[in-house]
Amino acid sequence: LNYYFFNTQQWELSFDGSYLISQEEGLRELMSAAAIQSLPKTVTGTGPKVAQVGGNVIEQHSWKLGLDGRYRWTEHHEWLAGLLWQQQVVDKFRTRSNYDDSAFIARPPAGILQYLGTVEEIAAVGDEGQHHLIGLYGQDQYRFNDHLAMTLGWRYDHYSNVGSTIN
């Protein structure tokens, strides 16, 4: 959604809003067959000693709202400023693997690394995690000609889960 409150040669003020649902899933080799074969039988238990594959399933949704403004001083010089709010929510986070390594990770090297035969869900981690982002930016842009421009800018972001940055 994009809405212009006004848009003239000198002034522009617009609102942007979006809602996004996404799912990411990927598998990769976590431990090679040779590494698993080198582990003692007390660690790997019974079953074939094949490569461990695993990955994560992440389902999330996010809201994003922004307000952007522009003031054009001359044909070559303009200021830009904006405000952004974003909320990202993890609805589902699952770890999948063909080995159940929870006991092995809890007590290495004595824990059992159990072969499951197929890639299965082995852990549900961090359901319904969320964080917010509030950002503010400003730019001063001067175009010398069609091929050369200079932009000076700054940006402040506050992440609810990790703190603030200024760039």
pLDDT in tens, 80-101: 999 999 998 888 788 888 887 7
Predicted confidence at residue 60, as pLDDT, reads 86
The span from the CA of 139 to the CA of 141, in Å, is: 6
The span from the CA of 8 to the CA of 50, in Å, is: 65
- For CA atoms 56, 101, 30, 119, the dihedral sign is negative
Predicted confidence at residue 140, as pLDDT, reads 97
Predicted confidence at residue 107, as pLDDT, reads 63
The Cβ of residue 72 has, within 10 Å, a number of other Cβ atoms equal to 16
pTM flag (> 0.85): no
Mean pLDDT across 117-135: 76
